[in-house]
Structure 1
């Protein structure tokens, strides 16, 4: 009766004839199809086969009310499908979460969805980074972590757990930034509310490592610029380093590809 299709996702209303009710009626459902997979969502309405056939144009008060209810259910699901398709992130789990049907949609599940995307895009290094983060998170909190669990207090406890395990704050930063990215996706997709988001100023801030200061003294610099092992290649590398030093640490790409400006 109602149909919508875009970007490989179809939404339509159907009469589910697989299960007839005790009263002889059949449930009306909204069917969503994506990548040959289909899911059915209840509208809460039931009609006979005959009423289903006349439903689009009937003037019956009772059937008109049923039609309006079906249209409302269809419109709600269509809006969510349109949003996810526009974002290029359609996934049945996220659709269910946005519709409030998966109240226990897990952090782990969204991590795995992200890993699938990274794998498909050939982003090996980022994939390994997210995989490592997920492993550390699951070691701390298990294989099914609800988004409602991720609070400021939870993040602080996770930080203490990592610190007690000997993890440096630089490494922690990778884990927390990846987790923050997952929660950003959840916030954007409506899985969590803004008030549930635990990161940011006045909330939990991602830890940063303290870099080591490796400044050379003048005596050490003199050793470098006077070093000579008798090979022309070493002299070139030495001179490039010294030129970079004199230019206050110029980027080596700029050093190799200088641009003359008028």
Structure 2
């Protein structure tokens, strides 16, 4: 069934000033839905046959503009939904057509995202986003701009600026992917429009450089594991490296969060912090020996990297396992 959209003067309701509200009526599948346009008109100034204000209607141009804008909004949504072959109801159509693009700046969206990531304890991603925010502030001097201002030419200027600063190719790629993610977020939140999206033409995928594979031989691994020092602070990072080797290349940060609860039926069971993927590995004898060497009854962790001192996500980032081990080695 066709979808029809009509503007009418809703004469079944009379306001205190004697005027009738202007309504938009949407009909589909035998159902009708009315929505107010937020304006009213005296019935003597309304042409009920043409459903338009009469020539002598006060504020005629203003009312006609509101009517035209609303009709265009609904027409665009109907065409888009039909082109995507999506089924929709009258309520869904009105919901999509009444969503307005919010006038938020790029600065607003960045700061809201940084705060959101902080609240969600995603501090690693938050710090990465904040780094891009600071970079853009340095480049553009401010971010009190709207998303349509970030066009292809703007992106190219930013890329050139980063290259002049000697930023590595893959780092440039990371910054652009973060900026693209912020732009996508703005579109999802109805802050930016897809027709202004610059990344259809500006391809972030080009900002990638293959790096040489950095691997060491099995003999070199054995030499590292077999190294012994009288300095216990030197032995600790070597033991962590050995644990990684014995346990299928477990990520360094994931090691830091391991507790006794991660040992289930002689297997190491944990969820990768980065990807959320569940990992199950049989515990090797050498790995068990390392766990017994470092685990303490007064600590929930298998290795002395984190402690109960690290109560928040931010403190875990600030006192990250890598920094902790490096400080131990420097001693």
TM-score (norm 2): 0.43
Unaligned runs of 5+ in 1: 1-14, 18-24, 31-41, 52-58, 86-93
What's the CA shift string for 1:187-229, capped at 9, x where partnerless? 34272234x32225x6321523554543224653342243234
Matches within 5 A, 1:93-242: 95-97=100-102, 102=103, 106-141=105-140, 142-188=142-188, 189=190, 191-194=192-195, 196-199=196-199, 203-206=202-205, 207-208=207-208, 210-211=210-211, 213-217=213-217, 220-229=220-229, 237=240, 240-242=243-245
User: Does the CA contact (< 8 Å) of 2:225 and 2:242 recur in 1?
Assistant: yes
In 2, are the aligned partners of 1:129 and 1:174 still within 8 Å (CA)? no
Distance, in Å, in 2 between the alignment partners of 1:208 and 1:82 is: 41
Q: Specify whether residues 82 and 170 from structure 1 end up closer, same or farther in structure 2 by C-alpha distance, changes over 3 A only.
A: same
Q: Contact 1:119–1:127 (CA<8 Å) still a contact in 2?
A: yes
In 2, the alpha carbon distance for the partners of 1:16 and 1:210 equals 71
CA distance in 1, matches of 2:225, 2:125: 38
Structure ID, larger Rg: 2
C-alpha contact (below 8 Å) 1:152/1:204 kept by paired residues: no
The verdict on how the C-alpha distance between 1:173 and 1:16 changes in structure 2, with shifts beyond 3 A counting, is farther
Q: How far has the Cα of 1:158 moved from its partner?
A: 0.8
> Per-residue deviation at 1:179?
1.1
Computed over aligned residues only, the root mean square deviation of the Cα atoms, in angstroms, reads 5.1
2:117–2:123 CA contact under 8 A, matched in 1: yes
Q: Aligned to 1:203, what secondary structure does the other structure show?
A: coil
Tell me the CA shift for residue 169 of structure 1: 3.0
Q: Say if 1:26 and 1:47, in contact at 8 Å, map to a contact too.
A: yes
Q: Distance in 1 between matches of 2:138 and 2:242?
A: 49
Q: 1:60 to 1:213 in 2, by over 3 A?
A: closer
Secondary structure in 2 aligned to 1:128? helix
> How many angstroms does 1:113 deviate by?
3.4
Q: Distance in 2 between matches of 1:259 and 1:106?
A: 48
Are positions 1:243 and 2:246 aligned together?
Answer: yes
Give the superposition deviation at 1:238.
6.6
Cα distance in structure 1, aligned partners of 2:125 and 2:245 = 34
